[in-house]
A = this chain, B = another copy of it.
Amino acid sequence: MKTEVLRYEADGLAMIGHLAWDEAASTPRPGVLVFPEAFGLGPHAKSRAERLASELGYVALACDLHGEQRIVSDLDAVRATLQPLRGDPAKVRARTRNALDALATRPQVDATRIAAMGFCFGGTMAYELALSGADIRAAIGFHSGLKVTAPGDAARIKGKVLALLGADDPGITPEDRAAFEAMLRAGRVDWQMTLYGGVVHSFTNPDADKLGRPEVLRYDAVADRRSWNQMRALLDEVFG
């Protein structure tokens, strides 16, 4: 498995992505965009991109969020930083669209077979990319926020949607789930949603516990493994 820095511009920001691929592959391989948690691109999303390459043979791009791989550690600062993206489809989708172009034009990638996934706000970004009508085969969100900028765009979604959620995530309410479900139903999307009981936010991120707020963010090894397996099954399905 090889990695390299992949720079691209998006929404006026200088993005520094992290590309991972299996150099033993002799033909173009499916590509997967990996959008990080709201804090920005760090070890968690990078390591998942590397697993997509080393375990599954995909070309994976862990995407930058805030530009220059900036990490925003404070939860309140994260909220403030993301606020301008939450109500503006053009702005949030601009950060995803150029990542897609950056990945799709890599020589190791089969540009006809691309999916997007993400964690926390990165999952929302995967959904936003799908809502933009982009030609991606799947949009997969792990502990992903379900509030999107323009639910009325659901009919533009071309790929399959999979939401993998902690049932006790205080930031993703039953009302959010119901609204997301209604949006996908109205758009006649092929969608799945899995709830993991007793699980809260950030369940895929071993560093979540460092924040010391286990009632809100907490790593869960079992849900991490189960959700990874569900992601893998859907990627198998859509990439054939």
Contacts and interface: CB of A to CB of B under 8 A. Distances in A.
Interface string A172-202: 0010001001001100111111111110000
A187 to B, nearest CB: 10
A197 B168 contact: no
Given A226-B233, A233-B229, A190 B194 contact: no
Is the interface on chain A under 10, 10 to 19, 20 to 34, or 35 or more residues? 20 to 34
A194 B192 contact: yes
Contacts of A195: 181, 192-194
Given A174-B178, A229-B233, A230-B230, A168 B192 contact: no
A208 interface: no
23 contacts: A161-B197, A167-B191, A167-B193, A174-B178, A181-B197, A184-B197, A185-B197, A190-B197, A190-B198, A191-B197, A191-B198, A192-B194, A192-B196, A192-B197, A192-B226, A193-B194, A193-B195, A193-B197, A194-B194, A226-B233, A226-B237, A229-B233, A230-B230
